[in-house]
Amino acid sequence: MAERLTDIGPPKYDMFWPQVIKENAGKWLYHDILEPGVLLHVSESGAKIWSVRCGATRLMTTMMVEEICKIADQFCDGHFRFTTRNNVEFLVVDQAKLEPLKKALAAHGSLPVGGTGACITNIVHTQGWVHCHTPAIDASGVVKAVMDELFEYFGSHKMPAQVRISLACCLNMCGAVHCSDIAILGVHRKPPVIEHTHVDKMCEIPTTIAACPTAAIKPAKVDDNKSVAVNADRCMFCGNCYTMCPAMPLADADGDGIALWVGGKVSNSKSMPKFSKLAVPFIPNEPPRWPTTVKLIKQIVEAYVAGANRYERLGEWAERIGWERFFEKTGLEFSHHHIDDYRFAATTWRTSTQFKW
Amino acid sequence: MAERLTDIGPPKYDMFWPQVIKENAGKWLYHDILEPGVLLHVSESGAKIWSVRCGATRLMTTMMVEEICKIADQFCDGHFRFTTRNNVEFLVVDQAKLEPLKKALAAHGSLPVGGTGACITNIVHTQGWVHCHTPAIDASGVVKAVMDELFEYFGSHKMPAQVRISLACCLNMCGAVHCSDIAILGVHRKPPVIEHTHVDKMCEIPTTIAACPTAAIKPAKVDDNKSVAVNADRCMFCGNCYTMCPAMPLADADGDGIALWVGGKVSNSKSMPKFSKLAVPFIPNEPPRWPTTVKLIKQIVEAYVAGANRYERLGEWAERIGWERFFEKTGLEFSHHHIDDYRFAATTWRTSTQFKW
Amino acid sequence: MAKKHQTPMLDELEKGPWPSFVTDIKRMAETGKDACADLLGQLELSYKDKEGHWKHGGIVGVLGYGGGVIGRYSDVPELFPGVEHFHTVRVNQPAAKYYSTEAIRKIMDIWNRRGSGMLNLHGSTGDMVLLGAFTDELEPIFAELTANGWDLGGSGSALRTPSSCLGKSRCEFACIHSEDICYDLTQSYQDELHRPAWPYKFKFKVDGCPNCCVASLARSDCAIIGTWRDDIRIDAAAVKAYAAGEYAANGGAHGQDCKLDIQKDVVDLCPTQCMAWDGKTLSINNKECTRCMHCINMMPRALRPGVDTGASILVGAKAPILDGAQMGSVIIPFIKMEPPYEEFKEFVEKMWEWWDENGKNRERIGETIQRLGLGTFIAAVDLEPDPRMVKEPRSNPYVFYKEDEVPGGFDRKIEDYRKRHAR
Amino acid sequence: MAKKHQTPMLDELEKGPWPSFVTDIKRMAETGKDACADLLGQLELSYKDKEGHWKHGGIVGVLGYGGGVIGRYSDVPELFPGVEHFHTVRVNQPAAKYYSTEAIRKIMDIWNRRGSGMLNLHGSTGDMVLLGAFTDELEPIFAELTANGWDLGGSGSALRTPSSCLGKSRCEFACIHSEDICYDLTQSYQDELHRPAWPYKFKFKVDGCPNCCVASLARSDCAIIGTWRDDIRIDAAAVKAYAAGEYAANGGAHGQDCKLDIQKDVVDLCPTQCMAWDGKTLSINNKECTRCMHCINMMPRALRPGVDTGASILVGAKAPILDGAQMGSVIIPFIKMEPPYEEFKEFVEKMWEWWDENGKNRERIGETIQRLGLGTFIAAVDLEPDPRMVKEPRSNPYVFYKEDEVPGGFDRKIEDYRKRHAR
Ligand code: SRM
Ligand code: SRM
Ligand code: SRM
Ligand code: SRM
Ligand code: SF4
Ligand code: SF4
Ligand code: SF4
Ligand code: SF4
Ligand code: SF4
Ligand code: SF4
Ligand code: SF4
Ligand code: SF4
């Protein structure tokens, strides 16, 4: 047997570049979004590359990849890429192939062109019920339902600015939703149910206790089993104990659902990056199409479109008009859950008489 | 013996009002600062009152009060008041008495007219070595030295906006300096020295331990005395243990001195109220005239005058130009002491690529 | 007894244009006041040592009162016997600190006879602080003060002397009668003021408008700050006069020669950008105004607060000890403030009750709220959550739910779970 | 083995204009892929139960690697045997996710033969996530992958797969070669990537400029973000063309018809107000510019970042677990980033060493810094404090001093104190 190959790392980044990129990397002069989903980049050398961006499902099959490959072979000399938000980009070097490519994509039917500029691009998301063990919600299904409703905004430039929606199916936030214009977050609302007969077998008790951010977990003896007890008053359902200890599941049909967060951003353009803030504390899981979630997101998006200045991100809009006005404009309810009570809570209190009626 | 009078409370507020106030309270229409220190208020009824504001020492003798009374009798029908920043205001009802009053004040020599508008008004301060048991610095002496240097700004309107300087002689901050344009704060820098023979006699040990914000104090037995031990690494010299326990003094000639803070404000005008931020972590006590403190305050004031827009408070200026620029413009050094490491520290870190070179 | 001490360092503080407390005290010492001479002597020693020379505390007071007097003893009494005892007497000031010469002279007279003759006008909380009495004199001083209509202020874990800006008495911006509120609260809560009963101190300060001239927002557990709900009143003629340069900008605060550029100085600096100026007419979108006062401050002859006035109540301001300094935060966005202020007092009493029950020893109410949560406090005082209470909604996902908020409650059986999910 | 399951709820997700993962997986199931059919079946059950049906974790992997595979087992395997094992294989993506059809087909071929045929393009960290393999297949999959030039990505308490924006390859804003940096770090730290050795996970992300298209600032323990130190380059002719409405605003992001109002859209929205436009010339006071990118984004044909480029390094971003979410904060305001990136790597290694020594179990570096202080961290990695590291200086007075900073040190004798101060 040949020596086992390890630690070779990924292929070098330029291996898959089209020739025009090899020649012009670092020399690009400007870009122009010719129409939604179609980018042109022009080099100092005069060289050009067109990129056609298409929505994709992220969770896909090898059949789908093969279809993408076929299109790329036909119009892009076999070159394509994925964006950081799970869209596919077909890289066109020969301008003559641009229109035929767009036709082929339209014919394909599952590769909608868009996701550029002042749009709602693809939703960054996580595993949900398709793979993970800790989710409070599904991921792919919610994304599908929401994107169906917002579809017109994907392939157009109708938003005041770019809107980035992200989804994470539990507080671990693998989707890094904490800095998104709109975040869809799976939340549990019941403390773990403890399998006392197995805690000591399946878990390291001290690590489990240490894992709780609010110190809600104490060692306990239950029916002669070494186990733990959870102080339900201190539990905020983060699921961190379950991560450490499989004998403490949180998932519950009635307890679990969706929270919506708004106004985060990552870019440093104009305003500094912002965390997303709580908009809707809880919406029950409503598979298969999560109608309340979809409706409330639409409500937020429409209030934003109606109220924001051009070039103003959602969080910039909310801060300009004030959060009291945000709740009014979106028709969302403000409840005690919106008031922070975690570590930096006091820094969010309003220490001024400045507010609006 | 007559029944002992208690709980009568203070005299009613309107008892000492001049007649014109009795008639026009709540009806004032506008004010006009005629010149530094001289305010005119005009009522809806057309009535007028002139107020002449004078700097005062706060720490004064009954002789000084008598002199104030004499002037008030002569020009103000016996009416005067003190401002919330310890200035005296002579209330003039008869315009004809205004100029004579000003002359009399000039002749007096210790009642400088000013403290209005875009000036540096009187320094709010505390007891210092004149009365309190916990000070790290004197109060009245520092105030005198600083006001001597800034005197030209008291009786003029040369500042970009009002500048409020406050002094507190220890971290208890009786001067509430935490929201001042410029704050002068007495700080200790040595952990308490413990009188083990007396801790148990003079102090309640559990309360003393509980008083420490950083949990630096532990019970300890020293030479058969029930006492406490202080973990010097965790002590940040707040003096709270000494407040609870006289057997743990902090005062020390080498350890104690002044920290300067800047950019706080209380009013809600334009920007929301702000905390003062650390400008100079430590200046040794330099009685009797604290030259380094005086010099550095002057340096801050001059940089502010040179750089700020009109109507811009010191903190608004610093935030507009950025704190990195504030340190450059004032010539102050930025050290690790300026980096917060207390409870909300993380909220002060720069989570953006936005900053200036 | 007291000899005149050499005070070479303090003498340096007689120089310079600002009034000198040293000069003032020296001349009083010369009249034979031992306390004055010895105070200067001891202060000179402190200047030399760079350390204060007062002992820690000392419990002294007057009969039936838990506070109002701060005990103080020299730690070098043999050198300065005139300040061996140097207790302060906090005399509750009249609201907004108006005096008649007649009234203040009575106090000065008492103080000359029975005290050191030195005082602070005023203490940081607002009291007249009479500095330096011997223990024996305290009760007689109290008797003479009350006989003349004066009472002591607060100290200890009690209500502290309330204070206010001058408000309606001489300020056109006052939206509430700050002095009356201050006086009414002081009188209504005399027992709370004089007989310490709480986890820690509690302060009221009353500001007539958001300019906060008594700094209530920074220095009082409960700040009462005047504001309005309707529209800023505009005098169009006066606006024109400002535009024409007839009036000084900002009420003359920058000199009578400094005129206003309405666009640049007023409209552009409005934090909500809710004003417009077309060179002739100034208009305000009052719905978007946050009543910051800036435009009114700039043009006091043209703009005035509305007429539907009341107060915003901000709770929790305090200095750093123990958990860090706080400013007040909005608890009641708007409340009408008309005598006898019953709605407000109901709130106050609920607040005190909650704090008294839940506050730890030496925990200011702002810290209790931090520890137990703003939401908890809001609920305890029977208020509804309002976005005006926060700068922004929470950004962390650590949200608590009570059992009755969640269908099916918290009690679950692992057996049921395992029926659906193999281990 | 797997039968076709009824999936009435999932079928609802075949409707609507957005591509349907259900439709895609269904057709693959129809080719006889058990895993696909059973995945849909189990997902339908989850939709019914409103609970997921995967067991907790499970340690599986390939020889010599501590990560790269996430173990997963169904908790209803008798119903869905095709997904009884459903491990994921994280394949380290090429930087910026460019592919040739030739190369990706090789992976798809392996995955069709040995895995479920389902995958994520891409995982949130950046890997290609091959979803669903049986334990037996893991080693063969790995062998075939490496034979074709691919390797596994990270998982566990290890370095995670670095990722980057597309940077210089197709973006005119790139100030650093984000893809090369990503590749170089990945190759340099293969051991750290494959063999968990740290308190917790550690992520690098590389953004070519402050627009942060790979969201490094929010999602990586160490964000490398391109920036510049000199002046924004201005093409005056192109500025005029924008003013004349010849070019679309914001690179066409609002449609080709949307033109720029240079004053309103660019100058007025500059956060530092350091730009000026007189209708003809656009000028920038570069000293006051914070390089936010706004003006460049608005006018990509007229403005370009400077030429003295490098990176700002922001450390500590992470999701909420345990102590709350963090963004990265500035640790190195500016560092040159030229291969072989030695200065940067020296910093990285110091940083890891400190974290490895001081970090608690399951503590991200951002949390260790919070616990021990930013100042402590700065000192540990041999940097000087710089105001650019903070938004503002501290406002609380709880300042620590080390003994050697204070004349005379901390050791004092109470006897000496009592010589000066009687008890
Ligand atoms: C392709 C992609 C990078 C990649 O390596 O894959 C990319 C590409 C470009 N980005 Fe981006 N960005 C990409 C994700 C991001 C992200 C990350 C994210 O959303 O998770 C951000 C940060 C989002 C945030 O702030 O929350 C991002 C913030 C920006 C910005 C800042 C916009 C703002 O106003 O805040 C710009 C500038 C602009 O659009 O004017 C920008 C500009 C650009 C430009 C114009 C750069 C250029 O000159 O080529 C590219 C085309 C923009 C467009 O599509 O409208 N890109 N861009 C990513 C496409 C994602 C997608 O499929 O939708
Ligand atoms: C007399 C006094 C109230 C009292 O009850 O004693 C008072 C009186 C007035 N204040 Fe004040 N303020 C007084 C302390 C304060 C304080 C408290 C403090 O400094 O501790 C503040 C908050 C300071 C802060 O924000 O840190 C204060 C913030 C203001 C402001 C807000 C200015 C700003 O730009 O932030 C105004 C409006 C203005 O000046 O334009 C104002 C305006 C006024 C007006 C114009 C109100 C009026 O229409 O009469 C009064 C004359 C102002 C002047 O002297 O320039 N007053 N004012 C206090 C005089 C103190 C002194 O002797 O210097
Ligand atoms: C006399 C006065 C300072 C002055 O020179 O004016 C004063 C003096 C003392 N204060 Fe104060 N405080 C005085 C107003 C304040 C203020 C300002 C205010 O009320 O507006 C504050 C900040 C606001 C606040 O309440 O937080 C203040 C915050 C403190 C604190 C810190 C409280 C906290 O929660 O952070 C302490 C420490 C304590 O209570 O143990 C304190 C403690 C003290 C003690 C009793 C010293 C101690 O450790 O026990 C001081 C006695 C000094 C003496 O011997 O004369 N003093 N103290 C002020 C009262 C005079 C008056 O009645 O008018
Ligand atoms: C697969 C992936 C989600 C996805 O659908 O894309 C994922 C999946 C899991 N993540 Fe994640 N994380 C994934 C990217 C992230 C990201 C985003 C990123 O890397 O940019 C984050 C937020 C950024 C960060 O690192 O903080 C993230 C933050 C977490 C956390 C919270 C960590 C924290 O410090 O707050 C956990 C919990 C933990 O580590 O115990 C976690 C834990 C997990 C575990 C291992 C579940 C667990 O509790 O042990 C998940 C396994 C799911 C499964 O069975 O498939 N995952 N995880 C992503 C990795 C794919 C890839 O390699 O490309
Ligand atoms: S967000 Fe939570 S449930 Fe979703 S993939 Fe990450 S760890 Fe799993
Ligand atoms: S879910 Fe979170 S808060 Fe609740 S017990 Fe578990 S670790 Fe603690
Ligand atoms: S600030 Fe400190 S030292 Fe000064 S009076 Fe108040 S408690 Fe005493
Ligand atoms: S000075 Fe403060 S930090 Fe130091 S031991 Fe005393 S209470 Fe604790
Ligand atoms: S707070 Fe307002 S009402 Fe009171 S004095 Fe100041 S400006 Fe006038
Ligand atoms: S009060 Fe303040 S917010 Fe309201 S209009 Fe005037 S300047 Fe604007
Ligand atoms: S981060 Fe900057 S360099 Fe990288 S793709 Fe985005 S805009 Fe271009
Ligand atoms: S990059 Fe940002 S801060 Fe710099 S000039 Fe442009 S808009 Fe202004």
All residue ranges of chain C with pLDDT < 50 are 1-2
Nearest to D84 by CA among D112, D116, D114: D116
End-to-end CA, chain D: 90
CA-derived radius of gyration, chain A = 24
A166 CA → ligand 1 middle, Å:
14
Residue with CA at minimum distance from ligand 7 atom 3: B135
Q: In the prediction, which pLDDT does B3 show?
A: 80
CA distances from B246 to B190, C56, C319, D348 (A): 16, 6, 21, 49
Confidence of residue B256 (pLDDT cuts 50, 70, 90): very high
Q: In the prediction, which pLDDT does D2 show?
A: 47
Say which residues have a Cβ less than 8 Å from residue D244's Cβ, sequence separation at least 6: none
- Does the pLDDT value for residue B18 go beyond 70? yes
Q: Report the predicted TM-score, pTM, of the whole model to 2 decimal places.
A: 0.97
Per-residue b/e over A178-187, b at no fewer than 16 CB within 10 Å? bbbbbbbbbb
Chain D residue with minimum CA distance to C418: D75
| E strand residue ranges, chain A | 28-35, 38-43, 48-54, 59-61, 79-82, 88-92, 165-168, 182-187, 217-222, 225-230, 257-262, 277-284
- Bridge pairing between strands D98-100 and C118-121: unpaired
Contact C150, C124 (CB under 8 A): no
Contact A6, A12 (CB under 8 A): no
Q: How far is CA B327 from the centre of its chain?
A: 23
Q: What ligand 9 atom has the least distance to the C-alpha of C171? A: 8
Chain A residue with minimum CA distance to B265: A352
Q: Ligand 4: which of A125, A131, A174 to mutate, most ligand atoms within 8 Å of CB? A: A174
Residue with CA at minimum distance from ligand 12 atom 8: D270
- The D-side interface with C (CB below 8 A) comprises 49, 51, 53, 55, 75-77, 320, 324-325, 395-398, 420-423
Give the SS3 label for residue D135.
helix
Q: In the prediction, which pLDDT does B292 show?
A: 98
D270 CA → ligand 12 middle, Å:
5
Looking at chain D, the whole-number percentage of residues with pLDDT higher than 70 is: 99
Chains that touch C (3 or more CB pairs under 8 A): A, B, D
All residue ranges of chain A with pLDDT < 50 are 1
Closest chain B C-alpha to C197 CA, distance in angstroms: 16
Say which residues have a Cβ less than 8 Å from residue A201's Cβ, sequence separation at least 6: A247
Q: In the prediction, which pLDDT does C3 show?
A: 59
Instruction: Count how many pairs of residues, chain A against chain B, have C-beta atoms within 8 Å.
Output: 23
ipTM: 0.97
With 0-12 CB in 10 A as exposed, 13-18 as middle and 19+ as buried, what is D143? middle
Mean pLDDT of successive 10-residue stretches along chain D, which has 423 residues: 82 98 97 97 98 92 96 97 98 98 98 98 98 98 98 97 98 98 98 95 98 98 98 98 98 98 98 97 98 98 98 98 95 98 98 98 97 97 98 97 97 96 94
Q: Ligand 8: which of B188, B194, B236, B240 to mutate, most ligand atoms within 8 Å of CB? A: B240
- D408 contacts chain B (CB < 8 A): yes
Contact D325/C51, CB-based, under 8 Å?
Answer: no
Closest chain A C-alpha to D384 CA, distance in angstroms: 24
Q: Would you tell me the crossing angle of helices D365-372 and D342-358 to the nearest 10 degrees?
A: 70
Locate all alpha helices (DSSP H) within B254-308, ordered by sequence. 291-307
Residue D32 CB: number of other CB atoms within 10 A?
9
- In degrees, rounded to 5, the angle at the alpha carbon of residue B92 between the alpha carbons of residues B86 and B93 is 145
- Of A190, A339, A357, nearest to C375 by CB-CB distance is A339
pLDDT in tens, B112-121: 999 999 999 9
Q: In the prediction, which pLDDT does D136 show?
A: 97
B137 CA → ligand 7 middle, Å:
9
Q: In the prediction, which pLDDT does A2 show?
A: 60
Q: State how far the Cα of B50 lies from the Cα of A247, in Å rounded to an integer.
A: 78
Chains that touch B (3 or more CB pairs under 8 A): A, C, D
Chain D residue with minimum CA distance to A111: D19
Contact A355/C388, CB-based, under 8 Å?
Answer: yes
Closest chain B C-alpha to A347 CA, distance in angstroms: 8
Contact D86, D131 (CB under 8 A): yes
- In degrees, rounded to 5, the angle at the alpha carbon of residue D389 between the alpha carbons of residues D385 and D392 is 105
- C423 vs A contacts (CB less than 8 Å): 195, 198, 246
With 0-12 CB in 10 A as exposed, 13-18 as middle and 19+ as buried, what is A307? middle
CA distances from C284 to A317, A326, B136, C234, D145 (A): 20, 21, 50, 9, 68
Tokens of A278: 């709580």
Residue with CA at minimum distance from ligand 6 atom 4: A235
Best to test chain C binding among B113, B129, B195 (most C CBs inside 10 Å): B129
Q: Ligand 10: which of C291, C304, C312 to mutate, most ligand atoms within 8 Å of CB? A: C291
Residue found by looking up tokens 């208690």 in the block = B6
- D185 contacts chain A (CB < 8 A): no
Average pLDDT for residues B158-187, to the nearest whole number? 96
Closest chain B C-alpha to C187 CA, distance in angstroms: 6
Tokens of C383: 């208020």
Pocket of ligand 1 (CB under 6 A): A 31, 33, 39, 83-85, 87, 115-117, 121-122, 124, 161-162, 164, 265-267, 269, 313; D 96, 165-166, 171-173, 211-213, 215, 250-251, 253, 297
Q: State how far the Cα of C214 lies from the Cα of C174, in Å rounded to an integer.
A: 13
For A345, list phi and psi in degrees, rounded to 5.
Answer: -45, -45
Contact D98/A79, CB-based, under 8 Å?
Answer: yes
- B352 contacts chain A (CB < 8 A): yes
With 0-12 CB in 10 A as exposed, 13-18 as middle and 19+ as buried, what is C201? buried
Best to test chain D binding among A45, A173, A268 (most D CBs inside 10 Å): A268
Contact A86/D122, CB-based, under 8 Å?
Answer: yes
The length of chain D, given as a count of residues: 423
Q: In the prediction, which pLDDT does B318 show?
A: 98
C300 CA → ligand 10 middle, Å:
13
Contact B16/C98, CB-based, under 8 Å?
Answer: yes
- Of A189, A319, A351, nearest to C329 by CB-CB distance is A351
Closest chain B C-alpha to D378 CA, distance in angstroms: 9
Locate all alpha helices (DSSP H) within C7-91, ordered by sequence. 8-11, 21-30, 34-49
For C222, list phi and psi in degrees, rounded to 5.
Answer: -135, 110
pLDDT in tens, B216-248: 999 999 999 999 999 999 999 999 999 999 999
- Bridge pairing between strands C222-228 and C204-207: parallel
Closest chain D C-alpha to A110 CA, distance in angstroms: 5
Contact D320/C53, CB-based, under 8 Å?
Answer: no
Contact D373/B341, CB-based, under 8 Å?
Answer: yes
- C55 vs D contacts (CB less than 8 Å): 421-423
Q: Would you tell me the crossing angle of helices A291-307 and A140-149 to the nearest 10 degrees?
A: 40
Contact B144/C143, CB-based, under 8 Å?
Answer: no
Contact A351/B273, CB-based, under 8 Å?
Answer: yes
The length of chain A, given as a count of residues: 357
Q: State how far the Cα of A93 lies from the Cα of B325, in Å rounded to an integer.
A: 47
- Of B185, B238, B349, nearest to D391 by CB-CB distance is B349
Residue with CA at minimum distance from ligand 11 atom 2: D209
- A273 contacts chain B (CB < 8 A): yes
- C420 contacts chain A (CB < 8 A): no
Q: What ligand 8 atom has the least distance to the C-alpha of D398? A: 3
Pocket of ligand 12 (CB under 6 A): D 270-272, 274-275, 284, 289-295
- Of B272, B343, B354, nearest to A352 by CB-CB distance is B272
